[in-house]
Structure 1
Amino acid sequence: MATPTVVLLPVWGVGHLMSMLEAGKRLLARSGGALSLTVLVMQAPTESYRSDVAAHVRREEASGLDIHFHHLPAVEPPTEYVGGEDFISRFVELHAAHVKAAISGLTCPVAALIIDFFGTTLLDVSRELAVPCYVYFTASAAMYALFLRLPRLHEEVTVEFEEMEGNVDVPGLPPVPPSALPTPMMDRTKPRYAWFVYHGRRFMEARGVIVNTAGELERSVLAAIADGRCTQGVPAPTVYPIGPVVSLNPPADPPHECVRWLDAQPPASVVLLCFGGGGFSTATQAHEIARGLERSGHRFLWVLRGPPAAGTGQPSDADLAELLPEGFLEKTKEKGMVWPTKAPQKEILAHAAVGGFVTHGGWNSVLESLWFGVPMVPWPLYAEQHLNAFTMVAYLGVAVAMEVDRKRNNFVDASELERAVKTLMDGESEDGRKVREKCAEMKAVCRKAVEEGGSSYAALCRLSEEMRKGAVRASK
């Protein structure tokens, strides 16, 4: 009999696609050859994303693992939408018939379908095909708890969240200020908010939810979910915390230019500034960053991206002459490096010279920083990053807070960046010392969790066993 397969349906964003693929490969390894992987690839909506996806697919196809890629027919992207969450959710929904046809056409038993958390409309497909469906949640357990809480919260709060009195109750977390809620929740009249409520309801229909976290990292939140405190006592689907799911590739040979520059710096002396695949700076904000870094007196490696070119949706390579203050590069050449295009973030975080990280706070970046034990300053920009920033400071204790003006497009003044960098990097700062110690502790926790016998390893084994049993039942 053909080896049963687990079907993955990722969305095209690198933070979603690569995380799900890495989780799938770990599941494959735990199955001991009892399962294969089939990845359904949606044609991304822009050429730049299509190029990125194609490169990842080529690399995985060359790995020799039992992974099969099936490219779905293209669909016409939505032309009217409000925000990325609205676009992604509707774009995925348009693939329902193609997904059903692809799964129906497989010649081997299907053990399970794993969908991205923006793809809950496809739970209908899994039900029609009688295939167990799991959600892969690339964000934190705290964000998943908020999703589960949101349908009832929507009924309890009748005004915009920023107008409500008091804080938001998310079981397992400290009281959450409304200003820390994800961007799509800040306007209840918009479709992106309605999608959040929709997904929060539909997660309850999944066979299980796979979360990129470790049990020890978000213990109280995971306990609240398991106890039904986020869902009014109604049992939520089983959660499988299998993280940190961090893809670790061999370092480039020859080393990247940023890594070579770090080789010449003292240990733990450099603060990295990097803002993910969607983060960029205007000239006004870049000038503030430049002044803050210069005044801090600390060494820095700044990955600076410019605003997206028309129709691309992704940051452009930075024009340093246009974005930076005159003379800044000359004045800071002994202590700083400004890199104007994509950089190998994991290789940089792994370097002994890096002692701090000013980050947009995307969950993948948070986990990478914890994996390497690098303390952070969160600078949230979009999506769920404001909630991540809150949890990094108030719940996990792995970051130094920085005041970000959300009403001014997440603007940060030079003086505030200077203060945060000094607090993080200065040896005499008590707050910085506590954060550094907590990060070192979380580094050990994260690595132990994924080792054989660790909590995430055990969760992955339970998931693999459940899928193998499901495949046996399906084949009878």
Structure 2
Amino acid sequence: MATPAPALVLLPEWGSGHLMSMLESCKRVLLAGAGGGREFSITLLVMRPPTDEAGSEVEAHVRREAASGLDIRFHRLPAVDPPADAAGVEEFIARYIHLHAPHVRDAVAGMGRPVSALVLDMFAAPMVDVARDLGVPSYVFMSSTGAMLALMLHLPVLHDRVAVEFHEVDGEVDVPGLPPLPPASMPCPVVDKKSPNYTWFVRLGDRFMDATGIIANTADELEPGPLAAIADGRCVPGRAAPPVYPIGPVLSLGGNDKRDSSEPPHECIAWLDGQPPASVVFLCFGSMGWFEAAQVVEITAALERSGHRFLWVLRGPPPAAESGTGAPDGSEHPTDANLDELLPEGFLERTKGRGMVWPTWAPQKEILAHPAIGGFVTHGGWNSVLESLWHGVPMAPWPLYAEQHLNAFELVRDMGVAVPLGVDRERDNFVEAAELDRAVRSLMDDASEEGKKAREKAAEMKAVCRSAVAAGGGSSHAALQRLSEALHQGAALPKK
């Protein structure tokens, strides 16, 4: 009887940006292993999300992957009661995941086959102890940037060195591998040291160091500074970090950018088909990005003044925004926008022909691949950034939450693929019309030296991204092969 292929057991956070990024990365491991004579299977441990909306999304992903034909199994963990006293989103997520530890242990122990690794979402990093108790390797999956990884590893050091709040620091914050970091660019979860969110991030950064390895959705050439700082031991002096495997950009299996020619194009794509090359600025703010009415007015004024063609994905507030309640994990999604209510009177008529406002989900990757797109005003979530870099589109980052302020700093100062956008963090990341107008002109005008540099650098990064994942020499492809070999060698039958 043939020995079953060792399993990669995945424990993702339920959000699409975490779950699908981890799953797509491990599907690459599965395929790379098959190509090198190292067979794997994937078992995804499915937690019941804390909201029905998130649960429906997870089940949709499960159904799609179950029909993919790949060796992917799904194990639903028993439900747990969510923490009722969490003070913040990140604390809630980390605590809720950690409550599943006994069920994760039981699931892995009962696999009945060797386990190559327990692959953990960054918020599940404390479960390295579960893997250790079972005698199997543990890998943390980092769905964010190498810069964020360097900061999280270094955060326990900063905690001991910096006694005041980061906004009280005289000067910049030192993060190994990055230019001096303005306090205003620190990620949202760590700006208040009195917050449980901050306490959890310090703990998570410490537990990353106990993993067998770290899988990162980035590439050596994209973020050489932070990745080198981690490898050189500068993030945690005196303690060697686990090996990091930068296997990105991971966007989708196969990386197919083209739509099925047998299907009619999406309305946004059909509109773009009629626009000149590189003439349209695309505004889109992720699955949870939306704006209050006052901010919408500023955006409309900026787009009118700039004179540039635009495609704007405008979403309405989540239902909870009106009732004063929200999902405990912060995952409430915007609604489809009522354009008659949100947009100033006459705006659509005045911009007819050169602008399109789309009020619901839009095919972002396909839009960024379109030759009519010349720039991207984005919230700066890492998945959106990678899609933009893959297609060589320069950006103007407008950070809204999570680690996006750090991402914006890296895109402008470290990578040079973006023009700066002045965001008032004290006013809930408000942007004045004049500032957005300036940024759009800088991004799109041929005469803008700042925009020219961003466009040239974005074109360079497009080539970098594609060469990194190329077989036979790409740095990310080589990292994937090293990871596959490490997983194959580390496979072990879990202890009971």
- TM-score, with length taken from structure 2: 0.94
Per the TM alignment, residue 251 of structure 1 is displaced from its structure 2 partner at its CA by 2.3
Secondary structure of residue in 2 paired with 1:179: helix
Residue 279 of structure 2 corresponds to 269
Amino acid at match of 1:95: H
**d(CA) in 1 for partners of 2:405 and 2:312?**
21
SS of 2:468's partner is helix
Shift of 1:82: 2.5
Moved more, 186-195 or 104-113: 104-113
Shift of 1:346: 0.4
Q: Say which structure, 1 or 2, has more relative contact order (CA 8 Å, 6+ apart).
A: 2
Alignment of 1:214-363 (within 5 A): 214-247=219-252, 248=255, 251=259, 253-310=263-320, 311=326, 313-363=332-382
Indicate the SS of the match to 1:337. Answer: strand
2:413 to 367, 370, 394: 394
What residue is the counterpart of 2:383 in the other structure? 364
- The alpha carbon displacement at 1:317 in A equals 1.2
After superposition, where does 1:416-427 map in structure 2 within 5 Å?
A: 416-427=435-446
> Which whole-Å CA distance do the structure 2 matches of 1:131 and 1:13 have between them?
26
Q: Distance in 2 between matches of 1:451 and 1:444?
A: 11
Q: CA offset at residue 233 of structure 1?
A: 3.2
**1:130–1:34 distance in 2 versus 1, CA, 3 Å:** same
1:9-408, aligned counterparts within 5 Å?
Answer: 9-32=11-34, 34-247=39-252, 248=255, 251=259, 253-310=263-320, 311=326, 313-408=332-427
Does residue 466 of structure 1 match 2:468? no
Q: What is the aligned length?
A: 475
Residue number in structure 1 paired with 2:323: none
Structure 1 runs not aligned, ≥5 long: none
5+ residue gaps, structure 2: 321-325
Q: Distance in 2 between matches of 1:36 and 1:7?
A: 9
CA RMSD of aligned residues (A): 1.3
**Which secondary structure state, in structure 1, belongs to the residue aligned with residue 333 of structure 2?**
coil
**Residues 227 and 233, structure 1, Cα contact 8 Å, conserved in 2:** no
Distance in 1, matches of 2:392 and 2:89, equals 31
| Other-structure match for 2:477 | 457
Could you tell me which of 385, 395, 409 is aligned with 2:428? Answer: 409
Between the aligned partners of 1:298 and 1:136, the Cα distance in structure 2 is 40
Secondary structure of the 1:255 match is coil
2: CA distance, partners of 1:255 / 1:48:
28
Q: Runs ≥4 in structure 1, deviation > 6 angstroms?
A: 472-475
Deviation at 1:121, TM superposition (A): 2.0
- Cα deviation code 1:319-341 (max 9, x no counterpart): 11221111111111111111111
Given residue 358 of structure 1, which amino acid in structure 2 is its aligned partner?
A: V
Deviations 1:279-327 (A, max 9, x none): 1011110110010011000010100111111245211111112211111
Residue in 2 aligned with 1:3?
A: 5
Q: Could you list the per-position Cα deviations for residues 361-388 of structure 1 after superposition, in whole angstroms to 9, with x for gaps in the alignment?
A: 0111111100000000000000000000
Per the TM alignment, residue 472 of structure 1 is displaced from its structure 2 partner at its CA by 6.3
**Are 1:114 and 1:134, in contact at CA under 8 Å, matched by a contact in 2?**
yes
Aligned letter for 2:61? Answer: H
Between stretches 409-418 and 70-79, larger displacement belongs to 70-79
Q: TM-score, normalised by structure 1?
A: 0.98
